[in-house]
Amino acid sequence: MSYRAETETPSHSGVLRRYGDRLPIGLETPLISLGEGDTPLVRSRRIEGRVGCRELYFKLEMCNPTGSFKDRGMVVAVAKALESDAKAVLCASTGNTSASAAAYAARCGLDAYVLVPHGNIAQGKLAQAVAHGARILDVRGNFDDSLRLARRISEQHPVALVNSVNPHRLEGQKTAAFEIVDAIGDAPDLLFIPVGNAGNISAYWRGFVEYYRAELATKKPRMMGWQAEGAAPIVTGKPVENPQSVASAIRIGNPASWLLAEAARDESGGEINAVSDYEILEAYRLLAQEEGIFCEPASAACVAGLLKYARHSAGATGGRLFADSSVVCVITGHGLKDPETALGIESEMQEVEPRIEAIEEAMGLAR
């Protein structure tokens, strides 16, 4: 099957076709696609007013084919694996990387092996890896243990490691920054983004810098990264042995792209801070109920960060600056991946008899 000859998706031509001239691909690279990228950038309806910035947008990376931003980098990593005649891909994952790797491997006829930390992955993500036929190894350890093992295996066996330590992953992920600039005509003043293994914040920074150098943007955003309090190694400055958070996607104690993320923070004049599980769940609820956006808890971390930052900058000298700012929050993954959390915080379900009067009464409708 020739990937180059076929038109894989009549619409949504994918990251490789759309941004190929800015990616490390050549004539030998198969132009695979599941229609990733080209995700919506939607204006906030309510949270913008709450935080008091000039304009607030959400980049809906949950709208990628497997429901997370990982697809942008995975399509490049898998295309390069195919180009080098790999027969299998391997990753460690808190869930989204494995879902994405499993999907692209299935599409391209590669075997996929995924190492997931025992008991630490949301059900929807596990379902995706199962559905795509990946070989799932339930590691009795955390994500950091799993990644260390995956790296060792890939050094000793002919399997392509598709974690973000694979440089092609960050190259693909930087395209989201291009799309934001293409959509609003310039870079935003501030970019709020969750931080786990720290690849995405590094990739966005690379994308913004690249567009700025090409004079496609007149400025670069301050990069505002957010970790969960129980898994905040970059904030505290030391690895976390036993990372904990309701946001299972970012339960990572020793991020692979730690130094790149610090560089993104420092070169952009940004910050990397932490939010509590309580703050994450509050932002998660606000996004769903005031914006109609159902994301997973890890994604809500950056909105929790925005609410926190706005509270702190309100009285301070930064207040005026913030009120004049354009802000983008990166909504990294879909809420459907983690139904347990959604059903766990508040259940509004009420049992009723299958009678019209019972339903009217439950709805508070008078007869």
What single-letter DSSP state applies at residue 38?
Answer: -
Q: How far apart are CA 348 and CA 179, in angstroms?
A: 37
Q: Smallest distance from the beta carbon of 250 to ligand AN7, in angstroms?
A: 5
Beta bridge partners of 160: 89
- H-type helices in 84-231, by residue range? 96-108, 123-131, 143-156, 167-173, 175-184, 199-213
Which residue has the CB atom at the shortest distance from ligand AN7?
Answer: 333
Name which of 33 and 197 has its Cβ closer to ligand AN7: 197
Name which of 18 and 174 has its Cβ closer to ligand AN7: 174
Beta bridge partners of 272: 225
Q: Smallest distance from the beta carbon of 355 to ligand AN7, in angstroms?
A: 43
Name which of 29 and 202 has its Cβ closer to ligand AN7: 202
Q: Smallest distance from the beta carbon of 160 to ligand AN7, in angstroms?
A: 16
Instruction: Show the tokens assigned to 161.
Output: 């490691």
Helix, strand or coil, per DSSP, at residue 227: strand
Helix, strand or coil, per DSSP, at residue 84: coil
Q: Smallest distance from the beta carbon of 333 to ligand AN7, in angstroms?
A: 3
Name which of 166 and 197 has its Cβ closer to ligand AN7: 197
Contacts with ligand AN7, residue ranges (CB under 6 A): 68, 93-97, 164, 194-200, 249-250, 296, 298-299, 332-333
Q: Smallest distance from the beta carbon of 293 to ligand AN7, in angstroms?
A: 13
How many CA atoms within 13 Å lie on the side-chain side of 284? 29
Name which of 39 and 96 has its Cβ closer to ligand AN7: 96
Q: How far apart are CA 52 and CA 76, in angstroms?
A: 38
The pairing of beta strand 190-194 with beta strand 222-228: parallel
